[in-house]
Structure 1
Amino acid sequence: MAALADHQDDEETSARIRDELVRLYMPLVRREARRYRNRGEPMDDLYQVGMLGLMKAIKGFDPSYGKPFVAYLLPMVTGELKRHFRDTTWAVRVPRVHQERRSELNRVIAEFTQKHGRTPTTREIADALEMDLESAIELIDASSAYSALSLDTPFGDTEDESALGDTLGVADGDLETVVDKTSLKDALDRLPERERRVILLRFFGNKTQSEIAADVGLSQMHVSRLLSQTLRQLRRELLS
């Protein structure tokens, strides 16, 4: 860090030193990110958030503080991770009972998918949660207000396991009754071509996020973000 401070006016040398610091502290960032991996966020997203903290720490550290860089770095990384979870909570106001049952809903979907090789219908979710069909629909709809990929919750034991949202793609006839198909078609037609294609592949083509990523030439994480953003946009239009 002292070397970086000594070469602030030498852009090429400063860039080389910053790159070396990033390489050196990447394992620490990944370790800190892994501490948050069971909160329903993709590991790659958490890692990128942690890396943002690392870059801020490299930029903001002053050797004259009199403490080692790692002591400055750790609070920056954990602070970014905590801020990420604070900022990606419920996108709209949702009844507490639905907030409390969201994790239960995700668990039911994950367990059913693992056992049967397909996602459950709304009625099967209602039966598993011991609630009536209308309440199950309300819970599913409310859970979609939780931003930042609650359906990317991993349900395996390895770092590269499948994500819950990546298995979805089975049509659910019970939900068709709550959608105004004409309004939906109009909203879809107003989307940019790429976003419209991603939505159509996902929900009408029964494609997984991995398959969509290969089809449109994007990363799976980018596809996941596009889905979240576009679904929020569609929801706003359909409810307006």
Structure 2
Amino acid sequence: MITATITERTAASEQTASTENEQYAHATALLTERAECGGRDRHCARLREQAIVECLPLAEHIARRFSGRGEPYDDLHQVARMGLIQAIDRFDPRAGSNLLSFAVPTVMGEVRRHFRDRAPTIRVPRRSRELYDQVKIAREELAQEQQGDPSDEALAERLQTTPSAVRKAMDDCACGAAVSLDAVGTAGGEVPALTERLGERDPGFEEVDDVLVLDPVVRGLSPRDRRILGLRFYDCKSQREIAETIGCSQMHVSRRLRQTLSRLRAELTAAT
């Protein structure tokens, strides 16, 4: 029983493969005849169109092979058909190869190029991608019915989901593609490239880090040393002005600053 079933399936598979080979062999013969007639009159155009129609199952097969990878099947099918047309137009029967061996890598290359150029750089959750495709269709339908852009609530009602889910799907897919930093916008006039609109590094962040590191160390100094440091580095006074302010000699101020800075340096080095 099992042997008979296997034999039947093998025979059916061989028959299908034979039919496909005959189909593509006939397409090769059509393109050979087209090449011989020069490819310029209406008869040659009909031969080309017939060869394309006979090879359409190949495009469908390759599109299905790449389906389920985040891109709609209809888009993949269209890209595969475009690749098939390119393969038929570029096929030269005089080169010695058959059409099938030439068309398959050409069509697959076109589909892979589509993934490279159009597929999201950042992987979008499958649920968001599926809902996003449904939202696009529902938006077109509601736009025609309402004669205007539908709201998120209307889309959610049509798709039997929540407005927040609709917005999440739109946001997720909008973030799925990378944007060139050198791209120049034109909305509302010419917009500078992103590289010219990015903020520069804020020096205030480094100052905050310095304060957080220095604060506990400075608190360990005597009030007099802290005052000398504040007058020197916060008020930017000279050593002579500091001496006049606190009522001591300039030499004393110089010595206290040197000792205080050495202590701070040693404690900070030990802390890091």
TM-score (norm 1): 0.45
Q: Which has the higher contact order (CA 8 A, sep 6+)?
A: 1
Structure possessing the higher radius of gyration over alpha carbons = 2
TM-score (norm 2): 0.40
